[in-house]
Structure 1
Amino acid sequence: MQKEFSQLLSSKPAQLPLPAKASSHEDLVHKLTLAGHVNLAADHLLHPEMRGSLETVVGQTIRKLNLSVRRASCYWDEKGILEWFRAYEYLLQLSFSLLGVERKWVGFSEEEVLSSVKLIKEALSSWQEWEGKVDSSLPVSGVTLDHLLSDMKRPMSVYYRPPGSMLSKMAARIQEKMGDRLDLVRFLEVWREEFQSNLYYRLSISGLGKFGNDYALGLRWLRHLGFVQVSTNPVLAACAYEDDPSLWEGFAGESFCADFKQLSLGKTNPEELTMLATEVSIFPNLAVFRPIFLASGYQHGLVSYQLNPHVADSLEASLRDALRIYSDASDFLLKYDDYLLWGYSPALERGRPNLVFKVAGCGPASIQITSELESLGIGTNNTETYSVSQETHLILAKMEGRARAVKKGIRLTTCYETTMIGRLDDHLREVEAEVLLRRALEVLGREALGELLREMKIEAGGDFESNIKLVCDRKNLSPIHKEPFAKFLAKAGILGKTPEEVEQKLRVIEDDLTYAGIIVTKRVHKIFFSPENRKKWVAWLERKYGLTEAQAEEVISGIDMLPASKRKPRETLLTLSASNLTNTEFPNFQALVFQESLSPGFDPMRLRESMSWEVAGEVLQRLCAYEVAGECRKVLELTPELNQVLREAGVEADLGDGGMRPEEWPSFGAVQKTRKEFLGAYEGLKRKVLQRIG
């Protein structure tokens, strides 16, 4: 019976008619809630025009739901039980948003938030009292709690990466504090304590930083913590299907999102099917972020969509795919906005996607693709970017495209410039390790490589060269000071005569290399967005493109650096800024950062504008002295052409001119490795898609 009860409460939401029909906000919310669209119902109230009326509308909605719940307590039939469950979830989802960072973006006062939550708690308490009198053997509230906490645990539940997702750990702590109690008011208090004490919430609510999620699931919970962006790529799209198989068949969510089974009917083209599969994995996130995108004036709530990596070097093919996906997103959001924005000002733009496209900075074509998309008012997120020169070129391309758009009166969205910090660090480590290994093999002989493979418990992968790559691969040699590698180098007298001496030097190398991506991010941010340089770029935009000061400000204010693919908490904690910066990270990395925040004496307020802090000069000196010095120069310096542009803008940046030109980007090792991985992941997702349709 309990299983049947749970299945009933997981019923798919009813299909919504178009256009939306309601007599008032509370009428719309009531209808949406009973139809199972509880998130949409809760998000409908997250609008600036609701300021000053929130408590009234919440009370009116509770009145209508109160009648539905009371009816259910009298009849206790399937319809009533399901509506009761949905009423619980609506009030809880609304409370989460009012107690989360969303209230700041919408502009609700603390007074109206607290008074509205007080009404909600009173309703929850009385409904639970009725529930206990009807049938305590089938607690609707218990299933509600299980449903919510299970959803929190979903990210990385199958695609597990140590130490697991931050959200799953938060859910476990909430469960532990709740014990066997099914008190929803108590649950709401425990939830508030857990979320509002979280480092990300504290940094977001205080304006010290913005954050994004490198995963397609769990976004609604992270929104409450202040997360404003989500990134996807072929790897992450595949992960979403592992963690939530309902995306393949019978997607049980809401908000007009179709599942893959529906969308794939009649389709046979593998590329089109793979595109649809990716859309299915991220379109629900467009809905999650929709209210904060609109409330913030297009500043927050962007979803990054990875374009097909096979067409990354083709302007026409990339534009064709982007415009097709953008059109699909607009069609979906026009329906969604019909309900989300019902009753609000007709001047509000409906259907404009809160979507930006990930454009791989793997070659010269990326510059033109970036500029063209931005000129259409479609934001970009440059990825596969590792160097100061790459990112400087691409930010200039963004400026050029955004200037063309703003002159036509097109309102701009936030766009992003990714620094793949961890992947850059991995590349530099592999290069450094390979040089050291080859030097050791010159002393010990080629046959000694087999001994090292055995010591490191690595299965030989082919010829001599491929085995060298295998030893140095980040999957086998991270960190670089692993004991077998240190012993091997010591045996050859490389870096020292004893394993202990070599290991100590390798530890310093490892630590130094993990600053390279941080330095790239800091240098680019300083070039464009430091207080002294930002105003120079505003003036440059006015001169070069004939913009007004307000237009130039709009162009530059919406470009955010996006540090990503991180490995160590400091890669977030040392790159915080209130302007032009969003840190994005994996669910398991969020757990590492949160754990770091629990260290004795940790004070997030001391991290204010840590982006402006310089990395110690001796670290940079050592980087330029290691075997990997040539690679460091490629990523840390500019080019003669870029230095000329900076001089024209009046920006002083004494960073050298040994950086990579656009034609050199495709041959850079980190670009090649990431490209290979993304292509492989894309093909893997395509194979799964084709298997699904038989």
Structure 2
Amino acid sequence: MTATMLALWPNMEVFRPVAYLLNFTDGMVSYQLNPNVATSYHGSLEDAIKIYSKTQEYFKKYDEYLLWGWTIDVEKGRPNIVFKVAGNSPAAIDITRKLESLGIGTNNTVTYTVSQEVKLILAKMEGMAEAVRKGILTTKVYETNMGGRLDDHLREIFAAKLVKDALKNVEDKLSIIYEYAKKIGIDIEDKDGTWIAPTGWGWDKVAKTLEEKIELICSRKYLKKLNDKNFAEFLAKYSGRDENEVLKYLDEWEKTIGMAGTLVAQRVWWIFFSRENKGKWLAYLISKYGLSPEQAEGILNNIDVLPASKRKPLDTYLTLARNNMTNTEFPNHQLNVLMFSRKTGFNLKKYDNAILIKHDPKIIEKLLTIEDFRKAYELTPDLADILRKVGINIEKMGLNGLKYEEWGLFGSTVKTMNGFTEAYNKFRDKVVKIAKEIKTKF
């Protein structure tokens, strides 16, 4: 915990002037709560409040210098921080609501589905409304949509299905999988034994069964795109189809699956922040929580959808919006976005408020044949009831969305949390080891 705080405080210092100049409606820095207690309401709250308090103590001293001579009366020491609350269990709903009610902002992560993101935005609204009624200043908060990780998961399960279909008439399936695994760079000694190899999600898969070994060769470490040449050759050889025909099929599905995360982000943003719906939520907040129009507007304006885990430039361009949208980019992705804009014929105006683009319905129809996309894209019955009462048009949105009790079982969630937990534990162990080494020298 202390090591992470010390690493993040300099980042918060950089954005601190922005936070004060914009009254904490920008300049926020995200802090990932301990993934080991992500499903614990009390454990997560205890960590968050402890971190917030220590950070506040530090910045009270820092702000004496930063705000020296500042003519406006401000709350010195208030951390420009939002806590990353993992949406891997229903506990995230209560954690989000409680932190927001204290004026402590949240950034929900490990979120890939409409049902997760809609429910957590509703929790933000409720918590922020409570804070406002108490006279507590709210901050900019975020609902992350990890679209690229949804795409990755869907690609993996779709690829695994293709492999099983191609090998359905083959007797010695394991030998064929073994040879292909070696070809794509998986280090295996014993064909019949346990295979252990990276997945590309930040953790190693222990594959014992044929099913698990097929999942491993289809993981994003070895199959970043469906239309991979080695994969196409493999499928063509054992399915008896022409390789060019297979490549064309895979290329079409790669483009289709690559739209999944964007479609989820688009639906969530439209539900809350489109011109036709935002006014309905203002009325909802005013009526349900007894807020003034200005207070309700302040809450809505402080909630942004945050597309993340992007894999290609269009993941950014197709989620551009004029309001309630924050796009955060890693440096390598920033460069990819820039280089895409330099292609011949590129027209930035095409992507003005691109979140409203109506994409080919056939893409959605194809994606809905994958059960996990249906879970990601549709509503749950209780959310549909809430949206209907608010006045949102939910026609054709479906009612087979991911249920709350399934949040921690969803494929993208399991794969991501395994990686996050592994990274956190390695970092913690490394810090402890260094601390012990230093202690012995003094």
* TM-score in terms of structure 2 length: 0.92
Residue identity (%) = 47
Match for 2:177 among 420, 433, 449?
Answer: 449
Q: 1:82 matched to which residue of 2?
A: none
Q: Give the partner amino acid of 2:297.
A: E
CA distance in 2, matches of 1:398, 1:554: 13
Q: Distance in 1 between matches of 2:234 and 2:53?
A: 57
Matched, 1:572 2:316: yes
The equivalent position to 2:164 in structure 1, one of 438, 445, 452, is 438
- Displacement after TM superposition at 1:469 (Å): 1.8
Q: 1:620 aligns with which of 352, 359, 364?
A: 364
Q: Does 1:411 align with 2:146?
A: no
* CA distance in 1 between partners of 2:353 and 2:270 (Å): 12
Aligned to 1:670: 412
Q: CA deviation at 1:491?
A: 2.1
Equivalent-residue separation in structure 2 for 1:638 and 1:588 (angstroms): 34
Alpha-carbon distance in 2 for matches of 1:528, 1:385 = 17
Alignment of 1:168-183 (within 5 A): none
Q: Deviations over 1:339-358 (max 9, x none)?
A: 11111125122111110000
String of CA shifts for 1:101-126, please: whole Å, max 9, x gaps: xxxxxxxxxxxxxxxxxxxxxxxxxx
CA distance in 2, matches of 1:503, 1:436: 13
Paired residue for 1:475?
Answer: 221
Q: Secondary structure at the match of 1:416?
A: strand
Letter of the 1:633 partner, please give it.
R
- The correspondence for 1:333, drawn from 55, 59, 62, is 59
Q: Which has the larger radius of gyration?
A: 1
What secondary structure is seen at the aligned counterpart in 2 of 1:418?
Answer: strand
Q: 1:428 aligns with which of 141, 149, 154?
A: 154
User: Residue 251 of structure 1 aligns with which residue?
Assistant: none
In structure 2, the partner of 1:686 is: 428
Is the 2:16–2:27 Cα contact (8 Å) retained in structure 1? yes
Once the 2 structures are TM-superposed, how far is the Cα of residue 600 of structure 1 from its aligned partner? 2.3
Q: Deviations over 1:491-510 (max 9, x none)?
A: 232xx711111011101111
**Which residue in 2 is equivalent to 1:176?**
none
| Alpha-carbon distance between aligned partners in 1 of 2:2 and 2:348, rounded to the nearest angstrom | 41
Aligned mate of 1:552, from 296, 318, 324 = 296
Q: Which has the higher contact order (CA 8 A, sep 6+)?
A: 2
Q: 1:379 aligns with which of 94, 102, 105?
A: 105
How much does 1:466 deviate? 3.0
Alpha-carbon displacement from aligned partner over 1:502-531 (angstroms, at most 9, x marks no partner):
011101111110100000000000000001
- What is the deviation of 1:455? 2.8
Residue 406 of structure 2 aligns to a residue in which SS? helix
Query: Does the 8 A contact of 1:441 with 1:449 survive in 2?
Result: no
Please identify runs of 4+ aligned residues in structure 1 that moved more than 6 A.
Answer: none
8 Å contact from structure 2 (residues 367, 374) kept in 1: no
Query: 1:378-398 deviations in whole A, cap 9, x for unaligned?
Result: 000000000001000000000
Mean CA deviation greater in 310-319 or 327-336: 327-336
**3-state DSSP class of the match of 2:186?**
coil
What per-residue deviation string (whole Å, max 9, x for no partner) do you get for residues 237-264 of structure 1? Answer: xxxxxxxxxxxxxxxxxxxxxxxxxxxx
Tell me which residue corresponds to 2:76.
Answer: 350
Residues 67-108 of structure 1: per-residue CA shift (max 9 Å, x gap): xxxxxxxxxxxxxxxxxxxxxxxxxxxxxxxxxxxxxxxxxx
Matched, 1:583 2:324: no
1:562 match: secondary structure: strand
Query: AA paired with 2:319?
Result: T
Instruction: Report deviation, 1:432.
Output: 0.2
3-state SS, counterpart of residue 385 of structure 1: coil
Cα deviations across residues 624-664 of structure 1 (Å, max 9, x unaligned)? 24xxx111100000011000000110111221000011111
Q: How does 1:170-569 map to 2 (within 5 A)?
A: 275-445=1-171, 446=173, 447-460=175-188, 461=195, 462-463=207-208, 464-493=210-239, 497-569=241-313
Residue-by-residue CA offset, 1:292-350 (whole Å, 9 max, x unaligned): 11111211100000000011111111111001111111112112211111111251221
1:601 deviation in Å?
Answer: 3.4
Question: After the TM superposition, which residues 134-145 of structure 1 pair with which residues of structure 2 at under 5 Å, given as runs?
Answer: none
1:487/1:498 contact within 8 Å kept: no
Query: Does the residue aligned with 2:400 lie in a helix, a strand or coil?
Result: coil
Please state whether the residue corresponding to 2:82 is helix, strand or coil.
Answer: strand
Q: Partners in 1 of 2:19 and 2:320 — Cα distance?
A: 22
Residues 565 and 586, structure 1, Cα contact 8 Å, conserved in 2: no
CA separation in 1, counterparts of 2:92 and 2:48?
Answer: 13
Q: Which amino acid aligns with 2:163?
A: L
**Secondary structure of 1:476's partner?**
coil
Mark the runs of 5 or more structure 1 residues left unpaired by the alignment. Answer: 1-274
The superposition leaves residues 42-84 of structure 1 with CA deviations (integer Å, 9 ceiling, x where unpaired) of xxxxxxxxxxxxxxxxxxxxxxxxxxxxxxxxxxxxxxxxxxx
SS in 2 for 1:381: strand
Aligned partner letter, 1:352:
R
* Residue type at the aligned position of 1:353: P
Conserved? CA contact 1:418–1:563, under 8 Å: yes
Number of residues of Structure 1 aligned to a counterpart in Structure 2: 415
SS of match in other structure, 1:693:
helix
Q: Deviations over 1:578-607 (max 9, x none)?
A: 211001121111111111122223343442
TM-score of the pair, normalised by structure 1: 0.59
Mapped to 1, the partners of 2:12 and 2:93 lie a distance apart of: 26
Residue 439 of structure 2 corresponds to none
User: Aligned letter for 2:214?
Assistant: I
Instruction: Give the aligned CA root-mean-square deviation in angstroms.
Output: 1.2
Counterpart CA distance in 2 for 1:368 and 1:456 is 44
